[in-house]
Structure 1
Amino acid sequence: MAKDNNCVRQWQEVLDKLLFSGAKANPYIEDLRTEEELIGFFMDDYYRDEILKWICEKYTVSSWKKCKDKAKSLREEGNKIFQLKDYVKCLCIYTESIKYAPVQSEELSLSLANRSAVLFRTCNYEGAIIDIEQAFSHDYPQHLSYKLHQRKAECLISLEKYSDAVTEFKLARDTLRAVKDMSDQKKAQISKSIEKAINDAMVQLTTKSKHGKLNTSNENGTMPELPVPVQGLNEDFPYASKSLSLRESKESGRHVVAVSNISVGDILFVEKPFAWVLLPENYQDRCHHCCSLFGVPVPCWECTTVLYCSESCRKDSWNEYHKWECYGGLDVIHNVGVAHLGLRVVLRAGSISELKTLKKKLEKGDANKNERYVAVYNLVTHLADMNSYDRAAYALTAVCLMLYLEHYTEYFTHNTSTTILNGVASHNDESLLIGCFLLHHICQLVCNGHAITAIKEGNSNDDNPVVDEHQIRVATAIFPSASMMNHSCDSNIINSFFGTHLIVKAYKDIQKGQEVFNCYGPHFRRMLKKQRKEHLRYQYFFECQCEDCLREDEFLERFTALLCEECNGPLPRKHFKATHVKCLTCGSNYESSALLADSLRAHYAYQKGQELMNSGSLKEALHNLQACHEIHVTCLYKSHIERRGCLDSIAKCYAELGDFANSTIFIERTLPAIEEQYGAWSIEMAHELSKLTDSMVGELNVHHGDKEAFMKKHAETMKYVQKAKEIFELHYGIWNLAVQDVAKKESYLNDMLISAV
């Protein structure tokens, strides 16, 4: 009886046992410094046996195998739901059936055919055609073939591809004639309907031909072309703009400098990752190879673990790396975190023979630095900077992945060559070589791994009314060129993605000769200085010396600060029990008890207002919220987060009451505070402008004033819409839905103006 997956040890437990409590726990681990020393030490029989025992445990609970009976059961369940016309649920179940059906089996072809019926019913004609063609390629029963030819023809009719539809209808007619187990009456009835469909399609084809060329292309959902860096691609710095130069100095190491003036929004890098791995939590929604969301998933034909957006991605994935990760391997690999990407880098780098040759060139300094893999290999590892536990843990993980390749795949036998390494042709040499490459890349990725992200909009809350636009990590990748940028807690670039391509744009104007900085995560507008420094020191092994880390005051304190009566500046409270505070602007000292008492009264009024608003008592809620606001302006700093929250709630009340003019006034009052905390080009500002323009459009729709007043308000609304559009384009690119939504609002305003004129 197989073990429960929850009973199998996680890789971290194995690491702790081997490094702390195992019989071979060794005090000399501290002295292991180089990749060769570490891998050689942990290839000892004791460690090998313990690691192989764990890998075997993972395989005993693996559920990657295809199962004909499960596929059939799921398909039959899908058939019942199809009768109920719950097509969304039905589509998911048929996909699961396809995932479990063995390749070249009748179950696979039947499940594909059934899913094509759902796709046809939901007007996804292209997807239905793909499934139909796949069903035929996997031995769909001959006596049912006429149904699929007929369905494919109907899809082509809907796509206005009448010539192809006629061909499919004729195939349906011919395959119907070959069916034996059908009454002549039923066969004649179906045949008649097919002949009618052929005639109708011929009429459509003739009609379209008379009125011009038939357009058979499908332009819906097409992606824009990949953007190009400003001034074109740099010949000496792959994937970078000609406006950039890669420099090196003792103080800054390798870094990126502007060689010409750069403006906000200029594209500086358009880089395809050398390698990437989709995170397991996204396997059911995204293509395992290109990371895109799929509508009609294509499964791996060997395992039930991964899905693809197309047959093309499936084939490319298999040829490049999945053939070494399939057959249950991912159940092991998912335990090792970012080390999975280290494995993927090695698998994409070349054969063992090629890696042997490259190793020699790297040691001699003869490797071509412009080759993509060499650029990856030359990224820093910080191996010597790590503590002994981390070095040992990463080395054991590299040995684990090497042993997986050695014992559970044909990687070593497939890549066997006669090349001599260090004068000896032995299996141990190849194992040591691959182990060292794996360790090298694992250590690199701790510092140089980059998230491929998708955008998800969070809900606003009472404490922070600004829409929280957060990035969902989809995959982890390595971008060697963009990795050359140094860190600043106030970077002058911004990252977005076009598929798996990293798009780097200027977030600020950058003058010729200035350094181009990325932010490695800790940003001064979103994280306290102490936390930023600790994070950077722990993960990246440097002490940040950017301007915001050297400033004496803490930037984020002002957004929870009291109000200075002398200059209206912020009075930050260093800790909750502080009784005396000092203004950051004028230096005045205050006893804070009176201000705190007022802020507490305001808080109670705000809570009451929220309760009334949630219960639908909007006028009573407004009374309490406005009382709260009146107190806020006397005791809290102008950009205090609670002042923004109160203003936002007042605006919501007015909007729900249909008073868009007052709603607009209060949303507008939040803009300076959002700009101060997040910046004029921040995504938070874009969302607040979007919210503001929604209210302004509502105001325009009920506007009954004179034409001059309408035109003035319209121009103001359009100005804010265009600003929001600029910011969304900067952060996401024109292909993003948020940009398209703002563009629709812009179009609506243009139509409104035409009607008014």
Structure 2
Amino acid sequence: MSHPTIKLIEKYLQDLLSHLARSDRVAKVSEQFSALRSNTERVQFVHALIEGANLFPALVEDFKNDAEAVALRQKGNEMFKTKNNEAALELYTKSIANAEKNSESLAVAYANRSAVLMEEGYFKECLEDIKNALCNGYPSKLKPKLDARKEKCQQLVQSQKATPYHQNIPCIPEEIRNKHIACATNSVEIKDNDDLGRHIVATKDIQLGEVIAVEKPFCHILVGKTSSHCRECLRLCYNLISCQNCTEALYCSKNCKEKANSYHKYECKLLKTFTLLGMDKMKMLPWKIVVIIRDMYDKIRNKDFVEDGIYRSGRYEEIHNLVGNDEKRPVSDMFGRCVTAAIIYHLMKQTSFFTSEDDEEMFQNLLLKHLQTAPCNFHQIFEMVEAEETVEIGAGAYSFLSMFNHSCSPNVVRHCYGTVNVLRAIRTIQAGEQLFDNYGYHHAVEPRESRRSSLRKQYFFDCSCEACEQDWPLYPDLPDLGVVALDCLDLERLRNGDIGYAQEIVGDVLEAARKMEHPQPNKQFAELQEAAKQCFALIGNVRRKNNHLLK
């Protein structure tokens, strides 16, 4: 189904600039915009320009459509017949999302998906789909076949193997928990100065492989994987259930569906339009933050923040204080973000979200604020698929992780367990030494000038890490120590996703890496670092192979 009146959100900026150019107003508007000092003033100014040019996108109604659901289900049937179960499952899930409430098409879509789940050995999930099919009026004439499937699944469900999405999340023991940073160990502290801003420094020696922090995001969103992951918790799930009113939101359980209602009651009406506008994670995550903190608007307005001496990842105050580099942004960058904020605000006015003009102004202020902080601070949530492929499934606002400065040769690495980010040392870190994350490309895979250019464009700084200052070579040209990194290391087993092997070998990999850490850089240490990262990745979020499905 096409929507010719909706364009990608960036095109509205181009259209507005073209409109201003035709009336020879670009220079005047730029001068007026540059004089504005508050986020609210900027958004309102641009909103008036878009309104005057009659350029706002229309809200696209999202509705269930049995005809669309049937068409998707029939395509799923074709895939199932050819044993393409992964494609069939996705099409049946989309059919469920499009089917009208309590309709036969909804019931049949659930039943057909249950057949795929049965064939793939997901007996528990199959039974849940069968239950949903029967609850939605599955045709009586087709019930004998469904009843037979149900009976067979009930016999087999106890034999279903547990396939955890990730291994147990590391836990920081109470005796080493940081008294001032809720998600971290006592091996680090937050420092602040004019040159480095807020940054993280080691309070004691940190060993390679040591867990430094286990952080939950203040807020997170799903990116791209709408037919295989829960919109609320991001869990991989093959029997998602749909929002009753829109076709965009799918959940792993009724509990997640109810939990999401705090924000989905506003986005439900807007999601189809957001999707057609091409709203990416750097727009959707700021939007969600500003929506879920609505009850705090008065507190933010009055600057009534809690100061208890503890840095807490689950608290909005920490997100509010992240740097957005607004003073470093060129006028064109800020103007473009204001166009985005104005369009989102315009669409939000068509929901029940706003109850006062003060709330509208606070929404404008905070939305533009977080549209600026997002590119510099928010982090990917990812999973491993098949061999070494890492796929982004979401994005999160992690306030503690946001305080790590960058290096092209970082000494920490992040891996995801659900939406939780676990931070480990990937080099030995001495007491008093700064901890560095990597914002872009590693020195071994991208030339220095390319790295610096990317960092300058997104983060507004010129990288002066040791790898850049000394212009360390790419991996093929790294100095070779002339020894085997680790005799017993079977990289093929890691590439094939052997979790048991990863857990077994990671200790040996870390020990070998400690012995070959100097001199820097060297090829053997780089190889062992990558092997350690692979081991850690395999005990985080992973889709595992099972016949045709990746789970």
- Fold in common (TM above 0.5): yes
2:209 counterpart residue number? 265
2:510 counterpart residue number? none
In structure 1, distance between residues paired with 2:227 and 2:522? 34
Q: Which one of 728, 740, 755 corresponds to residue 534 of structure 2?
A: 728
1:478 counterpart residue number? 397
Number of corresponding residues? 498
In structure 2, distance between residues paired with 1:533 and 1:244? 28
CA change 1:223–1:391 in 2 (3 A) is closer
Q: How far off is 1:264 after superposition?
A: 0.9
In structure 2, distance between residues paired with 1:148 and 1:36? 57
Q: Which amino acid aligns with 1:331?
A: T
Instruction: Give the CA RMSD over aligned residues.
Output: 3.5
Q: How far off is 1:400 after superposition?
A: 1.4
In structure 2, distance between residues paired with 1:307 and 1:149? 26
In structure 1, distance between residues paired with 2:452 and 2:533? 29
2:505 counterpart residue number? none
Partners of 1:265 and 1:506 within 8 A in 2: yes
Alignment pair present for 1:250 and 2:194: yes
In structure 1, distance between residues paired with 2:151 and 2:524? 54
2:319 counterpart residue number? 376
Partners of 1:243 and 1:258 within 8 A in 2: yes
CA deviations on 1:173-231 (whole Å, 9 max, x unpaired) are xxxxxxxxxxxxxxxxxxxxxxxxxxxxxxxxxxxxxxxxxxx9964447432112376
Q: Which amino acid aligns with 2:361?
A: L
Q: Following superposition of structure 1 onto structure 2, how do residues 225-240 of structure 1 map, counting pairs within 5 Å?
A: 225-229=168-172, 232-240=176-184
In structure 2, distance between residues paired with 1:444 and 1:404? 22
1:360 counterpart residue number? 302
Q: Which amino acid aligns with 1:48?
A: E
Q: Which one of 40, 44, 51 corresponds to residue 48 of structure 1?
A: 51
CA change 1:457–1:115 in 2 (3 A) is closer
1:620 counterpart residue number? none
CA change 1:240–1:524 in 2 (3 A) is same
Q: How far off is 1:523 after superposition?
A: 2.8
Q: Which amino acid aligns with 1:340?
A: M
CA change 1:680–1:31 in 2 (3 A) is farther
Q: Which amino acid aligns with 1:37?
A: E
In structure 1, distance between residues paired with 2:464 and 2:529? 30
Partners of 1:245 and 1:256 within 8 A in 2: yes
In structure 1, distance between residues paired with 2:107 and 2:327? 55
1:541 counterpart residue number? 460
Q: Following superposition of structure 1 onto structure 2, how do residues 553-568 of structure 1 map, counting pairs within 5 Å?
A: 554-556=471-473, 559=476
In structure 2, distance between residues paired with 1:90 and 1:547? 50
Q: Which one of 111, 120, 126 corresponds to residue 124 of structure 2?
A: 126
Q: How far off is 1:470 after superposition?
A: 5.3
In structure 1, distance between residues paired with 2:132 and 2:390? 35
| More off after superposition, 262-271 vs 117-126 | 117-126
1:326 counterpart residue number? 268
CA deviations on 1:672-691 (whole Å, 9 max, x unpaired) are 9xx98775454x5588xxxx
Alignment pair present for 1:36 and 2:34: no
In structure 2, distance between residues paired with 1:533 and 1:122? 47
Q: Report the structure, 1 or 2, having the larger helix content.
A: 1
TM-score w.r.t. the length of structure 1 is 0.59
In structure 2, distance between residues paired with 1:137 and 1:301? 14
CA change 1:560–1:158 in 2 (3 A) is closer
Q: What's the secondary structure of 2:473's corresponding residue?
A: helix
Q: What's the secondary structure of 1:159's corresponding residue?
A: helix
Q: How far off is 1:505 after superposition?
A: 0.4
1:596 counterpart residue number? none
Partners of 1:381 and 1:441 within 8 A in 2: yes
In structure 2, distance between residues paired with 1:531 and 1:488? 14
In structure 2, distance between residues paired with 1:405 and 1:483? 29
Q: How far off is 1:245 after superposition?
A: 1.4
CA deviations on 1:561-612 (whole Å, 9 max, x unpaired) are 9xxxxxxx99xxxxxxxxxxxxxxxxxxxxxxxxxxxxxxxxxxxxxxxxxx
Q: Following superposition of structure 1 onto structure 2, how do residues 341-740 of structure 1 map, counting pairs within 5 Å?
A: 341-351=285-295, 354-361=296-303, 370=312, 372-407=315-350, 409-412=351-354, 416=355, 427-455=356-384, 469=388, 471-551=390-470, 554-556=471-473, 559=476, 679-682=523-526, 685=528, 726=532, 728-733=534-539
CA deviations on 1:59-98 (whole Å, 9 max, x unpaired) are 2xx6x42112332344466567767777555544433322
In structure 2, distance between residues paired with 1:85 and 1:40? 54
Partners of 2:203 and 2:432 within 8 A in 1: yes
TM-score w.r.t. the length of structure 2 is 0.79
CA change 1:544–1:526 in 2 (3 A) is same
1:94 counterpart residue number? 92
Identity over aligned pairs, percent: 26
Q: How far off is 1:444 after superposition?
A: 0.4
Partners of 1:258 and 1:516 within 8 A in 2: yes
In structure 1, distance between residues paired with 2:348 and 2:44? 17
Partners of 1:342 and 1:445 within 8 A in 2: yes
1:103 counterpart residue number? 101
CA deviations on 1:153-189 (whole Å, 9 max, x unpaired) are 43121124xxxxxxxxxxxxxxxxxxxxxxxxxxxxx
Q: Which amino acid aligns with 1:227?
A: P
Q: What's the secondary structure of 1:556's corresponding residue?
A: coil
Q: How far off is 1:265 after superposition?
A: 0.8
CA deviations on 1:627-666 (whole Å, 9 max, x unpaired) are xxxxxxxxxx999xxxxxxxxxxxxxxxxxxxxxxxxxxx
CA deviations on 1:414-473 (whole Å, 9 max, x unpaired) are xx3xxxxxxxxxx43322110101001110002112122233578xxxxxxxxxx45333
In structure 1, distance between residues paired with 2:458 and 2:76? 48
In structure 1, distance between residues paired with 2:467 and 2:80? 60
Partners of 2:383 and 2:541 within 8 A in 1: no
Q: How far off is 1:132 after superposition?
A: 1.8
2:231 counterpart residue number? 288
CA change 1:308–1:225 in 2 (3 A) is same
Partners of 1:39 and 1:432 within 8 A in 2: no
Partners of 1:247 and 1:254 within 8 A in 2: yes
In structure 2, distance between residues paired with 1:252 and 1:226? 31
Q: Which amino acid aligns with 2:8?
A: Q
In structure 2, distance between residues paired with 1:95 and 1:737? 18
| More off after superposition, 299-308 vs 338-347 | 299-308
Q: How far off is 1:241 after superposition?
A: 1.6
**Which runs of 5 or more structure 2 residues have no equivalent in the other structure?**
484-515, 545-551
Q: Which amino acid aligns with 1:729?
A: C
In structure 1, distance between residues paired with 2:454 and 2:278? 24
Q: Which amino acid aligns with 2:363?
A: I
2:492 counterpart residue number? none
CA change 1:143–1:731 in 2 (3 A) is closer
Q: What's the secondary structure of 1:55's corresponding residue?
A: coil
| More off after superposition, 244-253 vs 486-495 | 244-253
CA deviations on 1:683-732 (whole Å, 9 max, x unpaired) are x5588xxxxxxxxxxxxxxxxxxxxxxxxxxxxxxxxxxxx5x5532454
In structure 2, distance between residues paired with 1:122 and 1:78? 15
Q: Which one of 59, 62, 65 corresponds to residue 63 of structure 2?
A: 65
Q: What's the secondary structure of 1:54's corresponding residue?
A: coil
Q: Which amino acid aligns with 1:445?
A: A
In structure 2, distance between residues paired with 1:77 and 1:559? 47
In structure 1, distance between residues paired with 2:91 and 2:455? 45
CA change 1:681–1:728 in 2 (3 A) is farther
2:218 counterpart residue number? 274
In structure 2, distance between residues paired with 1:73 and 1:340? 30
